A and B are shown apart, each in its own frame.
Chain A
Amino acid sequence: METQKNYFCSDMGVMLGRSMRHIFRSMDTILTVTVTPIVMMLLFVYVFGGAIQTGTDNYVNYLLPGSLLIAIASGISYTAYRLFLDMQRGIFERFHSMPIARSAALWGHVLTSLVSNAMSVTVIIIVALLMGFRSQAGVLEWLAVAGILALVTLALTWVAAIAGLSAKSIDGATGFSYPIIFLPFISSAFVPTESMPKVVRAFAENQPATSIVESIRALLYGQPVGNDLWIALAWCVGIMIVAYLIAMQVYKQRA
């Protein structure tokens, strides 16, 4: 058992290398997790943007946080997809019958999710910069933004793990992500909630995407962060813990 612990990091490195190859060899994955959010950003800024009144002079600045959330939500659906395929094929059995930590196979997917989402978020931010996105945030604010996004990724990754581990078909493994991808649309990500009808507005203001978007916005544009940050953190940590516990339970039973 001791030897297993010593090797945990190098084993995780091997698992990460494997899944990253899966990502880079899948055109579909790259298109969905980076190109689609970028196209949406272009569409919103250059097509709808002129008609949207957000009270800011630069709409890219306004919609960047929401675009990042959508990218992460579509990114984690691929984590569920890869996990599902590993469960279906014999490769998990092979890993589990080898002298490596049993959880390494699962944590490898979680780590991959963090790394690949960080990469797509970075690409999207670079494109946003080209489109005129500017921020007065300093190093600390950027670190806080990175921390929030990492936490969002982790929380959603464990939700994806439940789907990937327990699904009976590929549709089931990835379908769960659509509601998550749509959450930012019914939040303050693209338009201020003040313009929405009462019921929709109540939902929009009390769902996690709004508090996450508002916290990132506040950090990027030097506004006071306020309660949004704590609400966002509570959502992320809460979802992460519950999803982690369920996913681990399913993993023990099924893998």
Chain B
Amino acid sequence: MNSNQNKAIQVNGLQKAYKKLQVLKGVDFEVEKGSIFALLGSNGAGKTTIIKILTTLLKKDVGTASVNGFDVATRPGLVRQSISLTGQFAAVDEVLTGRENLIMIAKLRHLENPRQVADELLNRFSLADAADRRVVTYSGGMSRRLDIAMSLVGKPQLIFLDEPTTGLDPEGRIEVWKTVKALAANGTTVFLTTQYLEEAEQLADQIAILHEGKIIANGTLADLKKLFPPAKVEYIEKQPTLEEIFLAIIGKKEEK
């Protein structure tokens, strides 16, 4: 029981098929409370299916899954109390302003001071200046920040981020990374899926690789590196990547 209390997520033998297509073929993993867990996999590997089952949007076929100690099949209400989902497509209302979006979620979570909660999050996510503009005018990075801010209303213990940086420009991606790190530093457990290896490397305490419906590797970055032959020392001339050049130029411009 004691070990269970440290687990934010426990998944055992999870299977799911869409009609005849078996997407998950027996998935097992655990996520420690307060950690950042990255689920890596190519498109169509079943990452979103796992998130949908864990967030009670989809029913599993076989196996067990519990979130914050609550079984997703039998206690979906309690699971939903303790989590937040930031889906693949920004779940923001574009017609409303940033502030209205946050107040709406705060009201739906039945918090005492929706306005105050919204103000705090707007400041924390550097959206205060844009708070009263309609979201349709936001950049991709700003929308994503608002999206994540909406997921933090009511301080859920665990947040799910489904491909949080897909479709963002490099700056937007770094913004989101900072946000995720800050979340974990505050004790929130973060479950994220990504197709970018670099993202998992940058953020995650624990990385699991989902391939053809099963977890084929699971551990810390150091663990995963051990699976491969030891590093050879080679001397190569390191050229800056285009991304590094881009960010360096942008950074200089902003300093001026």
Contacts and interface: CB of A to CB of B under 8 A. Distances in A.
B95 to A, nearest CB: 5
A94 B93 CA distance: 11
B56 A91 contact: no
B225 interface: no
Given A10-B107, A10-B110, A90-B88, A97 B57 contact: yes
A93 B87 contact: yes
B86 to A, nearest CB: 8
A3 B108 CA distance: 12
Contacts of A89: 89-91, 94
A26 B136 CA distance: 13
Contacts of A100: 108
Contacts of B86: 94
Most buried by B among A10, A11, A89, A98: A98
Interface stretch (B18-26, B34-42, B75-83, B168-176): B75-83
A11 B108 contact: yes
A206 interface: no
Interface residues of A, number: 24
Nearest to B81: A99
Contacts of B96: 18, 21
B95 A91 contact: no
A93 B161 CA distance: 13
B165 interface: no
A100 B88 CA distance: 21
Nearest to B103: A14
A21 B105 CA distance: 15
Contacts, number: 66
Contact of A21 (B80, B89, B92, B95): B95
Interface in B159-189: 160
The SS class assigned to the A binding surface is helix
B104 interface: yes
Interface in A1-42: 1, 3-4, 7, 10-11, 14, 17-18, 21-22, 25-26
Nearest to B87: A90
Contact of A91 (B81, B93, B110): B93
Contacts of A3: 77
Most buried by B among A14, A99, A100: A99
A97 B80 contact: yes
Nearest to B56: A97
Nearest to A86: B93
Nearest to B106: A14
Chain B residues touching A, range = 20 to 34
B9 interface: no
B90 A90 contact: yes
Contacts of B109: 98-99
Contact of B77 (A1, A21, A94, A96): A1
Contacts of A93: 57, 85, 87, 91
B112 to A, nearest CB: 13
A97 B107 contact: no
A44 B93 CA distance: 39
B111 to A, nearest CB: 12
B85 A97 contact: yes
Contacts of A4: 77
B95 A25 contact: yes
A107 interface: no
A137 B100 CA distance: 43
Most buried by B among A1, A18, A26: A18
Q: Return the 7 tightest CB-CB contacts between A and B, nearest first.
A: A90-B91, A94-B91, A90-B87, A97-B85, A90-B89, A97-B55, A99-B80
Interface of B: 55-57, 77, 80-81, 83-96, 100, 104-105, 107-110, 134, 150-151, 160
26 contacts: A3-B77, A10-B107, A10-B110, A11-B108, A18-B96, A21-B100, A22-B95, A25-B95, A25-B134, A89-B94, A90-B87, A91-B91, A91-B92, A94-B86, A94-B91, A94-B105, A94-B150, A94-B151, A97-B56, A97-B57, A97-B83, A97-B84, A97-B85, A97-B160, A99-B109, A100-B108
Interface of A: 1, 3-4, 7, 10-11, 14, 17-18, 21-22, 25-26, 89-91, 93-100
Given A89-B89, A98-B109, 13 more contacts: A11-B108, A21-B96, A25-B95, A26-B95, A90-B89, A91-B92, A94-B85, A94-B86, A94-B151, A97-B57, A97-B83, A97-B160, A100-B108
